[in-house]
Amino acid sequence: MLRQYELVEQVKEYNPASNEALINRAYVFSVQRHGAQKRASGDPYYSHPIEVAGILTALKLDDETIVTGILHDTLEDTVTSHAEIVHNFGENVARLVDGVTKLSKIEAMSENERAAENLRKFLLATSDDVRVLLVKLADRLHNMRTLHFIPDAAKRGRIARETLDIYAPLAERIGMYNFMNEMQTLAFAELEPEAYASITARLAELHHEGDQIARIGSGITMLLGRAGIKATVYGREKHPYSIWRKMAERHVSFQQLSDVMAFRAIVPETDDCYRALGLIHRRWPVVPGRFKDYISTPKRNGYRSLHTSVFHSEKVRIEVQIRSQAMHNQAEYGVAAHWSYKQDSKAGDEQVRWIRELVEILEHAESADEILEHTRMAMYQDRIFTFTPKGELFQLPKGATPIDLAYAVHTALGDQAVGAKVNGRVVPLRTLLENGDQVEILKSKAQQPQPYWLNFAVTGKARAAIRRYVRHKERDEQIILGRKLYDDIVRRLPRKLSKNALELALQRLKLTHVDDLMVAIALQKIDDHSVLEALMPGNMEVVLAGLKDRNRRPVSIKGLTPGVAFQLGQCCKPVPGDRIIGVRRVDEAIEVHSIDCPSLASGADADWIDLAWGEGSEGAPARIEVIVRNEPGALGAIATILGGHNANILNLNLDHQDMEFHSFVIDIEVKDRQHLAKIMAALRATDIVSQADRK
C-alpha cells in the first residue's frame, strides 16, 4: 500500500504546485473513516482508495480528482455525510464523490429499474464532469487486480463479467486503452481460465523461440532512420483477450492466427506518419483490406493513428501502428489527458459528447431494458463514416442503415424518410451502409415512422425516436378503444350519470386524467365492475341487476328438466342459433357445446343430451380472431365496427404480432348467430382487416 508521503511525492513529481495539505487531509480522513474495515485480502480497507489514488497519479490528474479517489468509498461504506465532504474538501470534490457512489450501485446490473435508474444518474454526472468516470475506472481496475482474494467463485465471475461488459467498453470509448486492455485480460483470466492459460503458454513459447519481436522492431527503426525519420518503435504480442476474440470471430486456432505481433512507431510530426507508412508499404507487401487511416477520420473517442498490416520477411504477418508523440499521448491517456493538472478542463469536452447524446436518448426510454440496450449499443459498436451530399461527415455504428443517418441528421428528417440515394443509386431504408458512402435521404411530408423500422435501425437515437412515436400512436389507439368500451359501460347503466361523476370516479381510481382511465380500460388494467363502482359507488347490486335486465332476455335450453343447472362451454362459446348438444359428467353441471366443438372428442365417458335453444333466447359471449395490418388506427377501426353493431367487447388480447400483421382474440357479446354473422361480414369488408374468423 502507498504510504502517505509516497502518494504526495507521486503527485508533486508532475505537479510541484499541488495542494499537499489537501491530499494529506484526505488521506487521514479516509483512514479514520474506514477504520477497522477489512478487504477480502485481509488488508485494511483504506488501502484500496489509496491505491486507486495512486492509479490516478499515473494519469497526472489534478488535485480534486486525486482527493476524490481517496474519498470515493466514504459516502457508501462509512457514516460520512455529503455535508462533511463539502465542509472539509469543497463542493467540487463532494459532487465527484457523489457521482462515483451512484455508479457503484449499478454493479449488480440485473434487469431491475433501480439498476437502470442508477446508470442514468451516473451518465448525467459523467456528462457534467468526466472525472467521475476516471475515478470509477481506476476503482474497478484496482478491484480487478485484487479479484483473486474473493473466495466466492460466483461473485468473482459476476464482477469479471461486469468488467468485460461495462467498464472495459467505457474505458475504450474515452480512449483509455491501457485501462481497457488490463481489465479485459484480468476478466478473461477469471471467466475463461483454460483458454487464458493456453494462450499465455503459447505466447511464452514464442519468447523461447528467439527474440523475434526485437529483431523486427530494430528493422523498422533502421528502415525509417535511413530515410531521416527519427522513430521510437515498440513491439509486443497482442493481449490474450484480443487474441482469443479474434480466434472466436475467425474460427481459427492460435497457430492459424497470423497477426499475433503488433508494433507501434512513434514519429515526431503528422507528416512523418504518412512518410513512414509509404516506406513500410514499399519494403513489405501489404495485407489487403487491413489499412485504416484514423488520422484523417479519428475514432469517436479522439483516437488518431495509422494502422496497417504487412507480410514481414520473417514469414509472419504483423500489424504496425504509426502515430506522432501527441497522438500517442492521447492514445495512452484518452480523455484523461485533458484533465491533467496543467490542461484546460474543457479541452476533452468533444470526446464525451457521446455521453450527452446517450443521456438525451435515455431521458425518453420507457423501460430498464431500453436503457441498458442503448447504453451497450453506444459503448460497443464499431464505427463507419458516411457523407451527406453537402460533404458533412457522420460517424455511425457498423451495420447502420439510411434510417440511422436520417435520425442522426435530424429527428424530423428521420420521421419523414421514405428511401435514400447511396452513391447516386436509389435504395430502400434497410440497406446496409459501407464506410465512405455518400447518402442522400429521400423524404415525404406524408410519411410517418413505421414500427418495422426497428428491425434494421441500430443507433440509439433512431430506435428511441421510432419507439417514442409508436408508443404515442399506440396510446392514441388505446384511448379510442377505451372510450368505446367506456361508452358501452355507461349506456348499460340503469340511470344517467351526474355531470361530475367521471371526475369523481378518476379520484376514486387514483387517476389524474380521463385519457389514463381510457387506456386502463383498453388494456384491462381496470375491470368493468371497478369502473361501475367508481361511477356509482355503493350501488353495485342495483347496477348489476339493471345490466342483467337490459342486456338480454334469459337464455333457455330445450331438452333439459326445468331447474337443472347448465353452463355454456368456454371452449366453443355457443350462441343462440348454433346447433348445440349437452354433456353430462358426474357431479358437474351440464355443459352446452356447439355440435362441432373439438372438445366433444374427449368426452367419451360422458352422457350426451340432444338440446336446442328455447324461444326468445338471446345474448351470449362469442370469441373471434381478427388479423389486421400493422397500421395506426387498427384497433380504433375494429372498435368502431363492433360498437356500430351493438356488440359489447368483453375481453381483448393481442395474440400474435410481427412486422406486417397483428392478431387479436376478442370476446364479444352478441344476440345470436345471425348477429355474429353480420359483425364478421362487416369486419371482413374493412380494408385494414386481413382475416376475421370465429375462434
Chain-centroid distance, C-alpha 135: 24
382 is a domain residue: no
Long-range residue pairs from 578-587, CB within 8 A, at least 24 positions apart, any chain:
578/673, 580/611, 580/612, 580/613, 581/608, 581/609, 581/610, 581/611, 582/557, 582/608, 582/609, 582/610, 582/611, 583/607, 583/608, 583/609, 584/608, 584/609
The domain that contains 279 carries what CATH number? 3.30.460.10
Pick from 305, 339, 373: which residue ends a domain? 339
565 in the same domain as 651 = no
Its domain, for residue 568, covers 553-615
12 in the same domain as 94 = yes
pLDDT score recorded for residue 564: 64
290 in the same domain as 275 = yes
Low-confidence ranges of the chain (pLDDT < 50): 105-112, 115, 344-351, 377, 380, 547-553
127 in the same domain as 35 = yes
Q: Can you tell me the distance from the alpha carbon of 31 to that of 147, in angstroms, rounded to the nearest whole number?
A: 22
481 is a domain residue: no
Return the C-alpha cell found at 556: 333457455
- In this prediction the pTM is 0.54
316 is a domain residue: yes
pLDDT score recorded for residue 346: 46
Domain count, the chain: 4
Residue 383: name the closest of 363, 359, 362, 408 by CA: 408
670 is a domain residue: yes
Active site residues: 76-77
117 in the same domain as 21 = yes
486 is a domain residue: no
pLDDT score recorded for residue 200: 87
645 in the same domain as 609 = no
165 in the same domain as 275 = no
Pick from 274, 304, 339: which residue ends a domain? 339
15 in the same domain as 126 = yes
pLDDT score recorded for residue 108: 40
Pick from 293, 310, 339: which residue ends a domain? 339
The domain that contains 650 carries what CATH number? 3.30.70.260
473 is a domain residue: no
286 in the same domain as 228 = yes
Contacts of residue 589, Cβ cutoff 8 Å, sequence gap at least 6: 565, 566, 567
Long-range residue pairs from 333-337, CB within 8 A, at least 24 positions apart, any chain:
333/59, 333/60, 333/175, 333/176, 334/171, 334/174, 334/175, 334/176, 334/177, 334/301, 334/302, 334/303, 335/130, 335/134, 335/174, 335/175, 335/176, 335/301, 335/302, 336/59, 336/61, 336/134, 336/174, 336/176
Q: Can you tell me the distance from the alpha carbon of 215 to that of 212, in angstroms, rounded to the nearest whole number?
A: 5
644 in the same domain as 628 = yes
Compute CA distances 106 → 162, 376, 535, whole Å: 9, 14, 44
429 is a domain residue: no
Q: Do 566 and 591 contact (CB within 8 A), yes or no?
A: yes
Any idea which residue has 397483428 for its cell? 662
pLDDT score recorded for residue 214: 84
630 in the same domain as 610 = no
Angle (CA) 454 386 439, round 5°: 75
608 in the same domain as 647 = no
431 is a domain residue: no
Any idea which residue has 480523455 for its cell? 335
pLDDT score recorded for residue 373: 53
